[in-house]
Amino acid sequence: MRPSLVRGREQMKCSYLAVRVTVLLAAGLAQGCSALLPRSESETEAPWKTFAEVKRTYDSIEPGRTTLEELKQLGYDQDVNPNVTVLNYTDVLTKYAPNAVRDEYLEPGIRECIHMLTKCIGYSLEHRQIRRDRVGNFFLDVVNFKRRTAVTGWRFGAVVVVVDERVVHKSWNGVPAISEVEQNMNPLGPLQDTIGSLIPMPN
């Protein structure tokens, strides 16, 4: 066999081994660098730290018995809790009876609110804790080829209607456990935005 062919094969083997070693090192480094990916957390200020806590407080509110003062002590106070919004009579009417439905189709507390007009007031609460963690391949994320974001947390909302200093109605909505994954793919990586800006928009 010619010496030149032998040297060529040896060089190919060395190149192949070098590529494999480089790939393995890059993969190991990527796993270690994933901890460097950005993380963010969004939390509204409130006396509750978990969904169970805020739901337990809501469950303790009793229409027909809980007073406005007691409601505020539970955290539904716009002067203390920035997540509480005060709803006037018109706001409550728009939310629960937008199409002037007949009284018999409304909840008793809402009927009482409509009849009492300006003596009716609502307290709307919106509270959330959301965490966003970028996960996945560190290098693909850094060069903007592929970005995966894990979204976790919880969200709770409630409306409490008060007439003459007494709770007459309450309702709630929420998600006890948010678990989502957002994924963005950019085939051109860091050039995606640049190329996109150079493409003329149709008239």
What is the pLDDT tens value at each position of the chain, 203 positions in all? 555 544 545 555 545 444 454 444 455 444 555 555 556 565 566 788 899 999 999 999 999 999 999 999 999 999 999 999 999 988 998 888 777 666 677 889 988 988 888 899 999 999 988 888 877 666 555 556 667 788 889 999 999 999 999 999 999 999 999 888 877 766 655 555 555 555 555 55
- Do residues 63 and 170 lie in contact, with contact meaning Cβ atoms separated by under 8 Å? yes
List the chain domain ranges. Answer: 1-36, 38-190
Q: Compute and round to an integer the Cα radius of gyration of the chain.
A: 29
Q: At what angle do helices 89-96 and 108-116 cross, to 10 degrees?
A: 140
Report CA-CA distances (Å) from 35 to 22, 43, 80, 136, 138: 21, 22, 37, 10, 9
Select from 157, 155, 135, 154 the least CA-distant residue to 146: 135
**What confidence score (pLDDT) does residue 37 get?**
55
Residues 103-127 pLDDT 10s: 677 889 988 988 888 899 999 999 9
- Give the separation between CA 75 and CA 90, rounded to whole angstroms: 24
pTM: 0.66
Q: Count CB neighbours of 129 within 10 A.
A: 20
Q: pLDDT over 90 for what percent of the chain?
A: 37
